[in-house]
């Protein structure tokens, strides 16, 4: 084997690929979006391979309610939600259509890795979520509700539902107030002000539910 062939082979080695991806412990800004997550050895793997199946999610024993983002549009919000769910033991359900590619660099910059993505389920539509967890209560968080989020006694098999970020697409009221929704709740805010960031709202909700459940599994 010639020196050029050896150099080419070494460049393809997984450990050398990882070295090329990182600089001072952080992913290089010019590294392409094709590799979002890595396994425990730092090797790039497919996003789908890192995710949880809907069946496994429905059977998992959880210490917090499930979190669902219906048709999220901003990758940074979803990246933050993935990290939120990783640290609280929450399962995150993402319902298509998404407003971004799961390989988006802004998702990558949230510092995601294999273990974080293991808490995420991707559903092709909302019916797939409902059918996969038929015995779960769906609690929709919406500014149109009158009941406060603190007035609910949460269960680990609940699904906390959040709609898309505000934008040009109307809120899907058939999803947020359909017959599948058990409760509609809201976070209190000062009047005439814009809504909180989506994942800020989800964080408040998840931690309130986890508090009610005794922070089981935390330390």
Domains of the chain and CATH, by start:
3-45 (no CATH), 47-212 (3.40.1280.10)
CA nearest neighbour of 217 among 53, 60, 13, 34: 60
Q: How much is the pLDDT for 67?
A: 98
Confidence of residue 38 (pLDDT cuts 50, 70, 90): low
Q: How much is the pLDDT for 118?
A: 83
39: left (phi over 0), alpha (psi -120 to 50) or beta: beta
Q: How much is the pLDDT for 35?
A: 46
Q: How much is the pLDDT for 18?
A: 45
Confidence of residue 160 (pLDDT cuts 50, 70, 90): very high
pTM above 0.75, yes or no: yes
Task: Answer yes or no: is pLDDT of 149 > 90.
Answer: yes
Q: How much is the pLDDT for 25?
A: 40
148 marked ligand binding residue: no
**HSE-CB for 174 with a 13 A CA cutoff:** 3
163 marked ligand binding residue: yes
pLDDT tens string 84-136: 999 999 999 999 988 887 766 666 666 566 677 889 999 999 999 999 999 99
Q: Does residue 59 or residue 192 have the better pLDDT?
A: 59
Q: Does residue 26 or residue 143 have the better pLDDT?
A: 143
187 marked ligand binding residue: yes
Handedness of CA 23, 29, 32, 35 (dihedral sign): positive
Confidence of residue 148 (pLDDT cuts 50, 70, 90): very high
Q: How much is the pLDDT for 114?
A: 65
Task: Check residue 96 and report its DSSP letter.
Answer: S
**Alpha-helical runs (H) found in the chain:** 3-12, 14-21, 47-50, 54-59, 75-88, 105-108, 114-117, 126-132, 173-176, 198-212
In angstroms, the CA 78 to CA 69 distance is: 8
The answer to whether 47 and 36 are in contact (CB under 8 A) is yes
Write down the mean pLDDT value for the chain: 82
Average pLDDT, stretch 146-161?
A: 97
Q: How much is the pLDDT for 105?
A: 63
Q: Which of 79-88, 93-102, 159-168 has the lowest mean pLDDT?
A: 159-168
């Amino acid at each position: 084997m010639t020196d050029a062939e050896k150099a080419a082979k070494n460049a393809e080695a997984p450990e050398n690929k990882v070295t090329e991806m990182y600089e001072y412990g952080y992913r290089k800004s010019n590294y392409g979006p094709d590799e979002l997550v890595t396994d425990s050895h730092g090797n790039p793997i497919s996003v789908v391979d890192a995710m949880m199946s809907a069946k496994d999610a429905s059977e998992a024993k959880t210490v917090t309610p499930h979190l669902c983002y219906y048709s999220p549009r901003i990758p940074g919000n979803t990246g933050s939600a993935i990290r939120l769910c990783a640290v609280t033991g929450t399962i995150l359900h993402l319902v298509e259509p998404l407003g971004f590619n799961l390989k988006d660099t802004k998702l990558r910059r949230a510092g995601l890795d294999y273990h974080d993505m293991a808490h995420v389920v991707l559903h092709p539509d909302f019916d797939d979520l409902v059918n996969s967890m038929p015995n779960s209560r769906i609690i929709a968080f919406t500014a149109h509700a009158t009941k406060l989020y603190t007035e609910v006694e949460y269960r680990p098999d609940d699904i906390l539902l959040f709609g898309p970020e505000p934008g040009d697409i109307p809120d899907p009221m058939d999803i947020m107030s359909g017959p599948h929704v058990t409760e509609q709740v809201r976070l209190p805010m000062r009047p005439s002000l814009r809504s909180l960031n989506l994942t800020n709202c989800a964080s408040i909700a998840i931690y309130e539910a986890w508090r009610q459940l005794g922070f089981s599994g935390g330390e």
